[in-house]
Amino acid sequence: MSRKLSFYEFFAGGGMASLGLGDSFDCLFANDFDPLKARTYRANHDAPMREGDVFSLKPSDLPGRADLAWASSPCQDFSLAGARAGLTGGRSSAFFGFWSLTQGLAREGRAPRLIAIENVVGLLTSHQGADFTALCRALADEGYRFGALEIDAAAFLPQSRPRVIVLAAREGPGGFEGPSPFHTPAVRAAHARLPADLQRAWVWWRLAAPQKRNTDLAALLEPDTAVPWRSEAETQRLLSQMDPRHRAKLDAARLGGRAVGAVFRRMRGASQRAEVRFDGLAGCVRTPGGGSSRQLLVVAEKGQVRSRWLTAREAARLMGLQETYQLPVSQSAALKVIGDGVAVPVVRHLAAELFEPLLLRPQSIVAAE
């Protein structure tokens, strides 16, 4: 690499985007509102972390001109499990604090060359697509060309975690347009709903699929002897919450060798139901206060079934965090940081295949576009 790239990390959480960007990037500035996440960030990164509301920041607080601005803005108001308040919601409206700051940087000639906005897939359809249109309009009005990719962490890690990445560039896309497995039906439908002028500003970013994942959920778990197990009575209560379809999955798993399943308990109508999967994937790692309960594991072996909670360290592995990553001491606090993060290998793939080539291409090519 000819030079080091720079970035700002907004809504930084525990700094998982920074880990994914890796040594090719220097973080000039990081921000998060949550004291717990800010402490965790500082425990794992040397970059400057400004704790506080993004609305309180001024352009003068941000040093230099970053090549990239990464924003994993709060997703609760876009989540399919939430109230779907959209961009007018109290938490997701934090995006506008970030965007006001970006506009201020642009007035000073310091707008980031590339912006990556990460959020839940519900962003594409919130308010029948009106929120996504508003986001695209904001980008276009500041001279960015943009496009979206829907990437499931399951392509990299044994966790089902689909997310949308909106990537916006002030320079032309050049040779980085083309087909991609991440142009999903949801992305194509969101593009089709845009007004014609925003469709003309759209970029179908070319991003290849990664190499096939070679790990499953069981490979990332602690040894059975190293974790506490729930009582037989608790396990039976869990099994009683499974409807016939999920109970059949469990009964089939009992017939083979050792089988590990991931379980979420969800409200279905007036009843709480336990839903299990034995496809080698965990369900989406969530914060303890999210739309679903904390994730459980069931292990079927020799005709017997045991259950336990997914540990915070196991959840960290499912996000691609190394064993050296320092988690908060309590399980609840650690899961809060992890559940609001971005899967590290997803960011690494984006950085290697798009961010770095885009930002490091010869300026003569950029100027000619």
Structure tokens at 98: 């970030």
The DSSP-derived string for 28-66 is EEEEES-HHHHHHHHHH--S-EEES-GGG--GGGS-S--
* All CATH 3.40.50.150 domain ranges in the chain, comma separated: 5-213+338-368
The whole-angstrom separation of Cα 54 and Cα 101 is: 8
Q: Are 79 and 120 in contact (CB under 8 A)?
A: yes
The DSSP-derived string for 320-342 is T--TTS---SSHHHHHHHHHTS-
One CATH from 3.10.580.10, 3.40.50.880, 3.40.50.150, 3.40.190.10 for 5-213+338-368: 3.40.50.150
Query: What is the reported pLDDT for 367?
Result: 41
The whole-angstrom separation of Cα 76 and Cα 160 is: 18
Give the residue among 269, 340, 284, 294 at the shortest CA–CA distance from 14: 340
Query: What is the reported pLDDT for 255?
Result: 82
Confidence grade of residue 368 (pLDDT, cut at 50, 70, 90) = very low
Average pLDDT over residues 73-80: 54
Cα separations in angstroms, 30 against 44, 100, 265? 13, 16, 35
For residues 55 and 197, the model is more confident at: 197
The whole-angstrom separation of Cα 118 and Cα 50 is: 20
Query: What is the reported pLDDT for 271?
Result: 84
Please write the tens of the pLDDT for every residue from 209-260.
999 999 999 999 999 999 999 999 999 999 999 999 999 999 888 887 899 9
Please write the tens of the pLDDT for every residue from 197-210.
999 999 999 999 99
Structure tokens at 173: 């896309």
Cα torsion angle, 126, 12, 162, 335, sign: negative
Q: Is a pLDDT exceeding 60 seen at residue 74?
A: yes
For residues 15 and 367, the model is more confident at: 15
Please write the tens of the pLDDT for every residue from 146-190.
999 999 999 999 999 999 999 999 988 888 999 999 999 999 999
The whole-angstrom separation of Cα 338 and Cα 328 is: 10
Confidence grade of residue 81 (pLDDT, cut at 50, 70, 90) = very low
Confidence grade of residue 89 (pLDDT, cut at 50, 70, 90) = low
Q: Is a pLDDT exceeding 80 seen at residue 361?
A: yes
Neighbours of 80 (CB within 10 A): 11
318 phi/psi in degrees, rounded to 5 = -70, -15
Confidence grade of residue 2 (pLDDT, cut at 50, 70, 90) = low
